[in-house]
Amino acid sequence: MQEIRTQVGIVGAGPAGLMLAHLLTREGIESVVLERRSRDYVEQRVRAGVLEHSTAELLDATGVGERMRREGLVHHGIEMRFGGERHRIALTELADGRSLVVYGQQEVVKDLIAAGIAAGSDIRFDTEVTGLENIDASCGSSPAIVFRTSEGEEGRIWCEVVAGCDGAHGVSRASASGRARVLAREYPFAWLGVLAHAPPSSEELIYCRSDRGFALCSMRSPELSRLYLQVPPGERVESWTDAEIWGELAARLAIEGGWSLPEGPIIERAITTMRSVMVEPMRYGSLFLAGDAAHVVPPTGAKGMNLAVADVRDLARALVEKVSKADDGLADEYSTRALRRAWRAQEFSYFMTSMLHPLPDDPVGNRLQMARLDHLVGSEDLQRWLAACYVDLTGR
Ligand code: RFL
Ligand code: PHB
């Protein structure tokens, strides 16, 4: 049985856990990151892709933004497409000059792992956390993280603080669940997401509401498109052929006067369920939850990864004060502050989701969506609000 001591034990090497380790290392705080998957797996896992202004700035400011600035795509607007027409929302103009960077989550993860390894950080892949002990520890005993490696070796990490960054299905949320209030809602649809070797159809993201369902055109590079289709909940990826996916995208995105979507081989596909989940509070004694371990937002607002980074930006500051100066002030405020931001992101994601996904057999709901879109594209005030939320909700 390995016995290890560190200051902060971090469960999970997604954007939250890796960014936290990175920020703590820069402040001279020691941490160990435990990740149940292999390095290769977490570096290849395709998920979110839109970095808010403040997320990109934080990567820059902490020395991990160089490749993002070289390879990421800077965006100044999005298109709202509905009723066979296209409408541009000039995000940068409306949001005081701020912009977005489209750069895959797995690229952020790769950059953070490379920086961590270069700085000598302790990041352990293929190591599953099986339990948390003593998180309510008072004087004299410290919390511990129990783990097992893929080779079957068991161990325990003794630390001052545990950061639960292990996503929606990890052990951290489960360890808190006896005392947590978990508020959850499932939406009656899912997304079929694909990555295709095809040039993006336009320079900006297209959010499209059609009577056939929602569609989203995003991208990862000038050669790679990331595309999504609203599908019924419980849909299976295998029930769609490539031709059906391209056909449905073309039908939903059709506009008056004609428009075509460049096609190419589909190299990855997955179903994403649409949920809103909030775990309150985000702190239990020595255990602090961050990212998807604490909250899940539907992806329509592109907030999931940005929220995870914003959580750990605050958490790192709080832990530096707590661990190096025994000052609990920021740690005591962490949950309230992070929940307030997460609820705001939840509300924006709900706004986007409920405006853009038609429901079968709901004619009134469907007309209300069209009225809301019509109101949005006709009102600079509403667009200014949307732009501020889309470009920089988690930085404020
Ligand atoms: P992550 O990225 O889920 O990372 C958690 C990590 O913890 C590990 N883990 C454990 N490690 C050790 N022991 C255990 N017992 C463990 N249990 C779990 C996991 O292997 C994993 O590596 O959470 P984090 O860091 O909080 O980051 C959050 C973001 O990943 C998330 O909000 C977004 O990716 C959400 N999301 C999307 N957001 C968007 O804005 N746009 C999208 O298009 C989008 N697509 C997605 C998504 C999330 C998905 N999930 C969670 C299945 C697509 C998918 C499929
Ligand atoms: C993506 O590029 O994967 C993406 C973009 C915008 C969203 C969700 C996902 O709202």
Active site residue 390: yes
pLDDT, tens digit only, all 396 positions of the chain:
899 999 999 999 999 999 999 999 999 999 999 999 999 999 999 899 999 999 999 999 999 999 999 999 999 999 999 999 999 999 999 999 999 999 999 999 999 999 999 999 999 999 999 999 999 866 567 999 999 999 999 999 999 999 999 999 999 999 987 899 999 999 999 999 999 999 999 999 999 999 999 999 999 999 999 999 999 999 999 999 999 999 999 999 999 998 999 999 999 999 999 999 999 999 999 999 999 999 999 999 999 999 999 999 999 999 999 999 999 999 999 999 999 999 999 999 999 999 999 998 999 999 999 999 999 999 999 999 999 999 999 987
What span, in angstroms and rounded, lies between the C-alpha atoms of 215 and 225? 13
Active site residue 357: no
What span, in angstroms and rounded, lies between the C-alpha atoms of 329 and 321? 8
Q: Which fold has domain 2-77+91-184+275-351?
A: FAD/NAD(P)-binding domain (3.50.50)
What span, in angstroms and rounded, lies between the C-alpha atoms of 124 and 33? 6
Contact between 394 and 345 under an 8 Å Cβ cutoff? The reply is: yes
Is any ligand 2 atom within 6 A of the Cβ of residue 227? no
Domain ranges of the chain: 2-77+91-184+275-351
What's the DSSP call for residue 83? T
What is the secondary structure of 106-175 as a DSSP string?
HHHHHHHHHHHHHTT-EEESSEEEEEEE-TT--TT---EEEEEETTS-EEEEE-SEEEE---TTSHHHHH
Strand partners, 269: 194
Contact between 163 and 8 under an 8 Å Cβ cutoff? The reply is: yes
3-state secondary structure of 203: coil
Structure confidence by residue, pLDDT tens digits, 215-237: 999 999 999 999 999 999 999 99
- Rounded to the nearest angstrom, the distance between the alpha carbon of 74 and the centre of ligand 1 is 24
Task: For residue 73, give the ligand nearest its CA.
Answer: 2
360: left (phi over 0), alpha (psi -120 to 50) or beta: beta
CA atoms 63, 69, 71, 72: torsion sign: positive
Token couple for 3: 């016995």
- Rounded to the nearest angstrom, the distance between the alpha carbon of 139 and the centre of ligand 1 is 34
3-state secondary structure of 279: strand
Is any ligand 2 atom within 6 A of the Cβ of residue 304? no
